[in-house]
């Protein structure tokens, strides 16, 4: 895996050393020698990761990190503090500033490369979500997710540890801010993750009863655990386990003996990242739904119907099953808009759509075709059954006034309906749409408030 790494240090020899090591591992390296230069390089084009010295003149690394993380354009870029400071309080200060990790000089090469690759891999997943979200924004479908800056974070945390005293210590350190539960066996851990909506999983790699690394691998393979951050606890100096954990997708780590403040800071960091990723995923899902959904009525839109109808036709031909297609139009709808206004017209459309949804089945595809026209594709449905459903809907509309928000507070409307049925091999979506539309036209021409079937089928 390659990545673009920004190395920031005010001492030239330190910069050159890190640059040489990273270049040898096929990373692309850019450099900066102070905080302002670092921020300028970030504005020019955000790197994949920043290796940031703490003790620099003018603006120290903590302040630089805070500025990177407070900028929505760069907040998602991982920052690793690389410094001679080695006290727990120093690590906590870095984490509080928004840093993703804290490596002490002289930096162990294996630890450096493992952490860089791990953080870059996690960032790439976020980048993919950000790119998809950006597409939704460009289409005007969604607003952007907030930045990583969020206070008062609370979460549901699962601690997986088979030492009772360790579980008690973690629970004491994390409550009452967080809701903490625990598991002490491999099977119980999997069951809890499958059934619980956790925000963070803490896994001890020093458990006596089973292999914590194997558990991490299993958790990542579960749909319920795929996006939950995992924080592992390793013994100080156990580089092999730590490297393996990072390679399999673990998000963060703590070394024993665990400092309480560092635990709290790392938990806060992971919860903040998860909240951000969850919002990105929600926005992506929302944009997908909005791209195929009519925003006024909540039914599928014409674009989705046009693409999905071909699939329904193919399935009908393949399985030799009937497919009915119904097209509906509100009679004299223009008069509703002209008399009461477009806002009342929208209320009528929404109510009509709700009644369509209430009179169709789960397998049916109901869509707003455009304006006051609606269509329903009905798999496994012959003409007679489709006619009965359409007639029931027509009668419901005719006999039950539509409620509106202004005087006269209800309107009597009627609808006209045309129905066509798929004709097997050689038929396609355009022909089916045309036949249903012709039937609708005959319903309109013959007085409206009628259900008319395709003439070819009726003959």
Angle, vertex CA 36, rays to CA 33 and CA 42, nearest 5: 90
What is the total residue count of the chain? Answer: 459
State the Cα–Cα distance between residues 161 and 261, nearest whole angstrom: 20
For residue 16, what are the contacts with CB-CB under 8 A and spacing of at least 6? none
How is the chain split among helix, strand and coil, in percent rounded to 5? 50, 20, 30
State the Cα–Cα distance between residues 74 and 47, nearest whole angstrom: 9
Tokens 């952007």 identify what position? 144
**Annotated catalytic residue: which of 19, 161, 351, 372?**
372
Q: By C-alpha distance, which of 395, 387, 373, 445 is closest to 421?
A: 387
Mark whether 372 is an active-site residue: yes
Contact 222, 176 (CB under 8 A): no
State the Cα–Cα distance between residues 337 and 346, nearest whole angstrom: 9
Please count the CA atoms within 13 angstroms of the CA of 75 that sit on its side-chain side.
17
Q: By C-alpha distance, which of 112, 108, 113, 79 is closest to 96?
A: 79
State the Cα–Cα distance between residues 257 and 263, nearest whole angstrom: 11
Please count the CA atoms within 13 angstroms of the CA of 138 that sit on its side-chain side.
6
State the Cα–Cα distance between residues 22 and 24, nearest whole angstrom: 5
Angle, vertex CA 46, rays to CA 42 and CA 51, nearest 5: 75
Q: Which residue numbers are catalytic? A: 372
């Amino acid at each position: 895996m390659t990545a673009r790494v920004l190395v920031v240090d005010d001492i030239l020899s330190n910069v050159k050393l890190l640059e040489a090591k990273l270049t040898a591992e096929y990373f692309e390296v850019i450099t900066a020698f102070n905080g302002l230069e670092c921020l300028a390089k970030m504005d020019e084009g955000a790197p994949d990761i920043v290796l940031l010295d703490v003790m620099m003149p003018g603006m120290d690394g903590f302040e630089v990190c805070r500025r990177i993380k407070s900028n929505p354009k760069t907040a998602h870029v991982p920052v690793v503090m690389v410094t001679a400071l080695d006290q727990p309080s120093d690590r906590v200060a870095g984490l509080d500033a928004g840093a993703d990790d804290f490596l002490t000089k002289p930096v162990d090469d294996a630890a450096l490369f493992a952490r860089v690759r791990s953080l870059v891999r996690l960032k790439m997943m976020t980048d993919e979500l950000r790119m998809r979200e950006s597409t939704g924004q460009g289409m005007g479908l969604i607003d952007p997710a907030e930045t990583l800056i969020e206070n008062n974070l609370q979460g549901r945390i699962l601690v997986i540890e088979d030492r009772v005293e360790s579980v008690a210590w973690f629970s004491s350190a994390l409550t009452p801010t967080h809701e903490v539960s625990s598991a002490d066996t491999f099977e119980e851990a999997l069951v809890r993750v499958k059934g619980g909506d956790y925000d963070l999983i803490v896994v001890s790699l020093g458990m006596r009863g089973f292999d914590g690394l194997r558990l991490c691998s299993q958790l990542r393979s579960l749909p319920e655990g795929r996006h939950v951050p995992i924080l592992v606890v390793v013994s100080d100096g156990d580089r092999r386990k730590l490297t393996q954990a990072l390679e399999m997708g673990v998000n963060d780590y703590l070394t024993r003996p665990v400092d309480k403040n560092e635990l709290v800071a790392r938990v806060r960091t992971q919860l903040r990242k998860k909240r951000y990723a969850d919002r990105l995923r929600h926005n992506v899902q929302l944009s997908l739904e909005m791209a195929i959904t009519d925003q006024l009525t909540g039914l599928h839109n014409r674009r989705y119907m046009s693409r999905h109808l071909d699939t329904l036709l193919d399935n009908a031909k393949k399985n030799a099953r009937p497919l009915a297609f119904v097209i509906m139009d509100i009679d004299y709808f223009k008069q509703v808009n002209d008399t009461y206004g477009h806002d009342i017209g929208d209320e009528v459309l929404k109510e009509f759509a709700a009644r369509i949804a209430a009179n169709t089945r789960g397998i049916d595809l109901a869509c707003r075709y455009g304006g006051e026209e609606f269509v329903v594709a009905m798999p496994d449905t012959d003409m007679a059954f489709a006619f009965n459903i359409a007639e029931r809907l027509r009668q419901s509309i005719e006999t039950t006034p539509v409620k509106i928000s202004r005087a006269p507070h209800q309107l009597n409307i009627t609808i006209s309906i045309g129905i066509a049925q798929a004709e097997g091999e050689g038929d396609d979506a355009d022909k089916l749409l045309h036949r249903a539309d012709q039937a609708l036209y005959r319903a309109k021409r013959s007085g409206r408030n009628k259900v008319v079937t395709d003439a070819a089928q009726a003959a």
